Chains A and B, each alone.
Chain A
Amino acid sequence: MRLADLQAAYRSYLLSGDSAALAPAIVADSFDGAERLAIYRNNFLISLGEALKANFPVTLQLVGADFFEQAARRFVLAHPPQRPCLFEYGAGFADYLRDLPHLSAVPYVAEMARFEFARIAAFNAPVEPAVTPDALAGLSPEQLESLPIRRTRHARIVSARAPVLALWQAHQAAEPDLDAIDMTSRPHALLVCRPEQALMFQELDLSASAFLLAAENETSLGTAAARCGAVDDATLGRIIALALQLRLLALGDRGA
């Protein structure tokens, strides 16, 4: 068999578990081809399940190891990694958990997965130059208004209803104390970012999250500011100061 065809046969076997097409290419002796291949498929599924456990440690605690392993196995088969860097693996895991019927009564599980993936993404985002207060100091109001900006890649916004941040923080203890957490549903936005070495999390008010969401793709400072709604200049100034202090904004390409 040509190598490309052999590898395509491995691909369909590893994703389906059906070894009928591939087993004849394997030498059978004390074990037959299917048994030998199963060792590799087992390793593929278990190792990627372990990678998801490492990337979603609190989600794992919330659902327990048995449930997590089953969900991870199905997720791995439906959404195997596309790249060899596993610290990036699991971008779709939160959506996958959200859509599981078994979890419909506990929507905070998928929200936790979304938060945990934002942590990974913020941690591994490339370091890029951020807009500084000095860069803005000399600009006229018109120049400020039209300044092309976008959110830096370490700055992630997570929408949640459950108290995800409090839950996550509680699970950093060896024996999480969950009694004090108010589980009342309350729509809010969390900022996950990495301005320096350490990750930072904080809840954003509606106008700040609207501003940062507007800057997800390149836009102008004026357009993003307009998305804050009817806020006074002091509030807008506070939002922009926060964004500059935490290095949340990069200069857009049109301004480079």
Chain B
Amino acid sequence: MNVLPACSQLPVASGIGLRAAHHERVHEQLPDIAWLEVHTENFLGGGATPSMLETLRERYAISLHGVGLSLGSAEGLDEEHLARIADLVRRLDPAAVSDHVSWSVTGGVYFNDLLPIPYDEEALSVIVGNVTRFQEAIGRPVMVENPSTYLRHAQSDRAEPQFLAELCQRSGCGLLLDVNNVFVSTENHGDDAQAYLAAIAHLPIGEIHLSGHHLRQIGNRSIRIDDHGSPVSDPVWALYEQALSLVGPRPTLIEWDSALPPLETLLAEAGKAQTRLDAAKRNAA
């Protein structure tokens, strides 16, 4: 139960997302953290940034987390983009490679958002095909992340956990479990987060994400919006503890991209996750 699936060679410890504003400090001070995750798309230029990652790779395990492959696109993957990712993977030999269960590209436009797909047979076969192509191109299994969603498609005929289970089973990929996204989506759609966790606990989960969200008021109603711009909320910490007890200890990332705080704040959040991971390891022993 506590051996990581093939999609993840990350250390079973907490890590932080590395964003441009912290590159220099991390490079100079090499903070005490087990691993770093970067957005793949920020390192696909030919400039100095990939070589910076090569340097950090000597000290930290690196996770390449994609936001632009658009695995849910009916038109298939952008082969040129995929080739650039495959080059970076060869160059870095990262400990994990992931992207999302969503789409962002159609008809030559990139929307820079994780748009939802319907959970039906056709979308499943599209994303299975795209994940399979992704894994072929980089020669290793990847992880896909459950999204935060703000709507449901009328044509969906199965729940998200079932869709994820079929995707993992049919493509051989792993799941990157974003606990904040589970909380946001289940709250937004009146679903039960505990039931969600129970339904995906048996999947090959190679990494967990934790991040912040906010409650947006619209008239007298409200909706939770994933923002990656605030501390992890108390109910999400509680849900994380439940996930650890169901799934076992997993590499856990503090994901904070907008309104980026000082590095110390990120490291302190990662420390809170590490405390819970340590407890889960003791319980699992």
**Residues of chain A having any CB pair with chain B under 8 Å:** 1-4, 6-8, 10-11, 14-15, 24-27, 29-31, 33, 35-37, 39-40, 43-44, 47-48, 50-51, 80-88, 123-127, 194, 197
Contact = CB atoms under 8 A, between A and B. Distances in A.
B74 A31 contact: no
A128 to B, nearest CB: 8
Contacts of A82: 108-110
B111 A39 contact: no
Given A3-B72, A43-B113, A84-B105, 8 more contacts: A6-B74, A27-B151, A36-B151, A40-B150, A84-B81, A84-B104, A125-B45, A125-B46
B131 to A, nearest CB: 15
A84 B78 contact: yes
B69 A123 contact: no
A117 B73 CA distance: 30
A102 B113 CA distance: 30
Nearest to B46: A126
Nearest to A30: B221
B81 A83 contact: yes
Interface in B72-123: 72-75, 78, 81, 103-113, 115-118, 122-123
B45 A124 contact: yes
Contact of A123 (B45, B74, B116): B45
A36 B150 contact: yes
28 contacts: A3-B118, A3-B123, A6-B118, A6-B153, A6-B155, A7-B73, A7-B74, A7-B107, A10-B111, A11-B106, A26-B153, A31-B221, A39-B150, A39-B216, A40-B115, A80-B109, A81-B109, A81-B112, A82-B108, A82-B109, A82-B110, A84-B41, A84-B68, A84-B104, A86-B112, A88-B45, A124-B45, A127-B46
B193 interface: no
A10 B115 contact: yes
Contacts of A29: 190
Nearest to A3: B74
Query: What are the 3 A-B residue pairs with the smallest beta carbon separation, nearest first?
Result: A84-B68, A126-B46, A124-B45
A167 to B, nearest CB: 24
Main SS of chain A's interface residues? helix
B46 A25 contact: no
Contact of A31 (B44, B67, B109, B218): B218
A86 B41 CA distance: 8
Contacts of A35: 218
A50 B216 CA distance: 20
B165 interface: no
Contacts of A125: 45-47
B185 interface: no
Contacts of A3: 72, 74, 117-118, 122-123, 126
Interface in B38-72: 41-42, 44-48, 67-70, 72
Interface centre among A7, A50, A194 (most CB of B within 10 A): A7
Contacts of A88: 45
A50 B227 CA distance: 14
- Of the candidates A37, A51, A123, the one having the most CB atoms from chain B within 10 angstroms of its own CB is A123
Contact of B107 (A8, A40, A43): A8
Nearest to B70: A84
Contacts of B48: 123, 197
A2 B106 contact: no
Interface in B177-225: 190, 216, 218, 221, 223, 225
Contact of A83 (B110, B113, B190, B223): B110
B81 A124 contact: no
B112 A48 contact: yes
Contacts of A127: 46-47
A44 B110 CA distance: 10
B154 interface: yes
B23 interface: no
Contacts of B107: 7-8, 11
B110 A123 contact: no
A93 B73 CA distance: 27
B168 to A, nearest CB: 20
A215 B147 CA distance: 47
Contacts of A33: 151
B153 A25 contact: yes
Contact of B47 (A48, A80, A81, A124): A124
